[in-house]
Amino acid sequence: MEQKPRGERAESELVDRLLFSLSSLGELGEALTSGEDFLTNSRTLLHQILGTLMISKGAILFFDSQTRQLTVKTSRGISQRKLTLALKDEQVEGLRSFKGPLFLSQPPAILSPFIKAQKKAIEELHSYIWLPLVVRNQLVGLLSLSRKFMDLEYTSADTELLEIIAHHLAIAIYNYQLLNQLKQVNFELDHKILELETLYDVGIRISSLLKVEELSDEILLRSVSLLDANRGALFLIDKRDKTLKLDSSFGINQELKDKVNIALGEGLIGEVARKGESVRARGHPQLQLPLESDTLLAVPIKIKQEVFGVIFVANKEAKGGNIIEFTPADERLLSSFANQAAVALENARLYKESLEKERMEKELELAATIQRNLLPLETPEIKGFEISALNTPCRQVGGDYYDFIALNPDQFGIAIADVSGKGTPAALLVSTLHGTLHAYSEENYSLPQLTSRIARAIYRSSLAEGFITFFYGILDPKKRTLTSVNAGHNYPILLRADDKIHNLREGGICLGIMEDPTYQQETTSLQKGDILVMYTDGLTEAMNPQEEEFGTERLTETVYNNRHLPASDIIEAIIRQLKSWSRGIPPFDDLTLVLIKVL
């Protein structure tokens, strides 16, 4: 067989080598741009690179810019496949800026200390030459190659081919990392959208519940479901004693539920309520709950920094049933849900209060109607006398009272009273007074005896602090006399026709203070032109902007200046003068006036 000359044979081998290199580059290019997962075909890529250049061992390492580490992702001929190389910033910069293959036997000065420090790792990698993988001035990885078969030296053609391979490999890794980042972003976005949709659905559900009891159970059930937990509890702050009450629980013995009472700042849950900050932890010895937990998460329920309670979940379960830790994402999710829960709980509380307020308003309206029915529908017409009256409660129901009682054809009872306090409790005492006054007035009691019996009834039916100032007089039109008892009430003003003033003082203490008080009576003769004014302190103690009282002197002066008018007009003049005096200051007490003018 004829042999080719040596020169021709060398040229033929070079041509074959170039054709093989071009063929390998084509295969590498197809593999790198195939769209398949880089890690899936990276071993094949590395095999092609090694085969193309007749290299025995090699590895592809990825660079993590966060941890500043190079980590082996694919290797061939190397036993230690999980090697990592930690880099400092100047070493990253050295690799990033190095152009072409880096022979470790002749490292540049900037990388020499690093290569010496990584001697063991380099030996395990069998590294002889490194090719930094750089894209857009960023280090993305490293291609580590050993010596060639039979310890052949790398030729200039080899290094040129390696530079081309490294360039394409760097782009492939860069694209792979970008794709992974995009997948992670998409995953997080999808997860966030799912969370938002879940929160939206849950928010609609809990916002439709307006009963606090049902709402608490629903909030806890949703919390446990959202976090894949198998334990949970919902605590609400009792503002009366500043403690956390266990309002709803899941996985806790119901018999122990009522015994759980946590002070603010006590244990983990108390601290969450006091500070208004979430806590993630493993089993906690100061949990103050009758349950064991491997992992736990507690978040405050709050609106505008005001804490209403705490949502607690424990033992997050993985798909296989294992207990795993709660993540920061879990904490954010439950905190977002807790914000919705806070609004729903506040709405439920306000709704409950509105129902209670509506119920109370209906009761007050009924009480006001009853109280109005206790007052006289009209003033009696008594020959020789002109009578007018006015009652203005400062609330829907009040504690002032007046009455006219026809005792017989010749006598009329006239009463005025002021119950301590305001509102419904005062109205109840007014009702008691009205009933006892009418019941005992039908009996044949003297005026002091009648007042004593009424006082006993009020004492027995009122609270310790309840009492009534009371004035009661019996008018005899024929004799033109008024026999009266004053039980601690404002002294009625009798303005005589001769302009002298007499106050009706005789009597005793207020009703309801003692069980068996005694009273004295007085009898006053009435003459033509006399005016008797009975009133409650809501009139004389009314304030102006300077916090000065209207007073009895101003009342007397107003009556005196209008004494020529009819009784009803005198009352109107008093009210006009009072409004002018107060100048818009609202009344703080009930006001009652009874005026009798002797004709």
Q: Which residue among 165, 180, 195 closes a domain? A: 180
265 with 410, same domain: the answer is: no
d(CA 59, CA 388): 111
Extract the tokens encoding 239.
């503002």
Torsion angle, alpha carbons of 388, 394, 396, 398, to 10: -70
What is the domain-level CATH number for residue 111?
Answer: 3.30.450.40
Domain span holding position 451: 375-598
**Structural domain count, the chain:** 3
What residues are paired with 103 via a beta bridge? 129
Coil vs helix vs strand at 185: helix
132 with 81, same domain: the answer is: yes
Answer yes or no: is 367 within a domain: no
Q: How many CA atoms lie within 13 A of 48 on its CB side?
A: 21
What is the domain-level CATH number for residue 555?
Answer: 3.60.40.10
Coil vs helix vs strand at 56: coil
Output the tens digit of pLDDT for each of the chain's 599 residues: 445 454 454 455 444 555 455 555 555 555 555 545 677 777 777 887 888 788 888 989 899 988 889 988 888 888 766 788 888 888 888 888 888 888 888 888 888 888 888 888 888 888 889 889 999 889 999 898 989 888 888 888 888 888 888 888 888 888 888 877 777 766 555 555 555 555 556 556 555 555 666 778 888 888 888 888 888 888 888 888 888 888 888 877 666 666 777 888 888 888 888 888 988 888 766 666 766 778 889 999 888 788 888 989 888 888 777 888 888 888 888 888 788 777 777 777 777 777 777 777 776 676 667 677 778 888 999 999 999 999 988 766 667 899 999 988 889 999 999 988 766 677 778 888 898 999 998 888 999 999 999 999 998 887 666 789 999 999 999 999 999 999 999 999 999 999 999 999 999 999 988 989 999 999 999 999 999 999 999 899 888 898 899 999 999 999 999 999 999 999 999 999 999 998 888 877 788 999 999 99
Answer yes or no: is 101 within a domain: yes
Answer yes or no: is 330 within a domain: yes
At residue 235, what are phi and psi to the nearest 5 degrees? -110, 140
329 with 379, same domain: the answer is: no
